[in-house]
């Protein structure tokens, strides 16, 4: 019984080795290399198509969710600019009380300038 098991195991390993050797030999021929390159090209093309399809679906989903037109430049409906968003505070149209350059100064810049001028 023991010899039969070893014979079967050896036969299986031998068949496996022959099949792998044939596949390797075929892959190293010019036709095999051409087939592998064709497979790579096909895989790359399918991946690019899947990516493009997925991106288009996601774009359509986001446009629908945000209320944008399907393609092109978003269109504003009349009165859309004056519509208020809940929970926000409307900004004044012309903030005359703000200095034009006040947002460029660091905090306390006016205090340092007056201290230097008085010394």
**pLDDT one-digit tens code per residue, 15-52:** 999 999 999 998 889 988 899 999 999 999 999 999 99
3-class SS letters over the chain: CHHHHHHHHHHHHHHHHHHHHHHHHHHCCHHHHHHHHHHHHHHHHHHHHHHHHHHHHHHHHHHHHHCCCCCCCCCCCCCCCCCCCCCCCCCCCCCCCCCCCHHHCCCCHHHHHHHHHHC
**pLDDT one-digit tens code per residue, 53-92:** 999 999 989 988 888 876 666 566 665 555 566 666 666 6
Q: pTM higher than 0.75 for the full model?
A: no
């Amino acid at each position: 019984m023991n010899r039969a098991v070893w014979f079967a195991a050896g036969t299986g390993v031998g068949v496996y080795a022959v099949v792998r050797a044939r596949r390797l030999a075929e892959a190293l021929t010019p036709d095999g290399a051409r087939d592998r390159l064709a497979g790579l090209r096909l895989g790359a093309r399918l991946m690019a198509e899947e990516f493009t399809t997925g991106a288009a679906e996601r774009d359509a989903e986001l446009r629908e969710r945000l209320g944008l037109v399907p393609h092109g430049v978003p269109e504003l409906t009349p009165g859309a600019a004056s519509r208020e968003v809940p929970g926000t505070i409307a900004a004044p149209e012309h903030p005359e009380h703000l200095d034009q350059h006040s947002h460029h100064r660091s905090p306390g810049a006016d205090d340092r300038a007056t201290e230097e001028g008085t010394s």
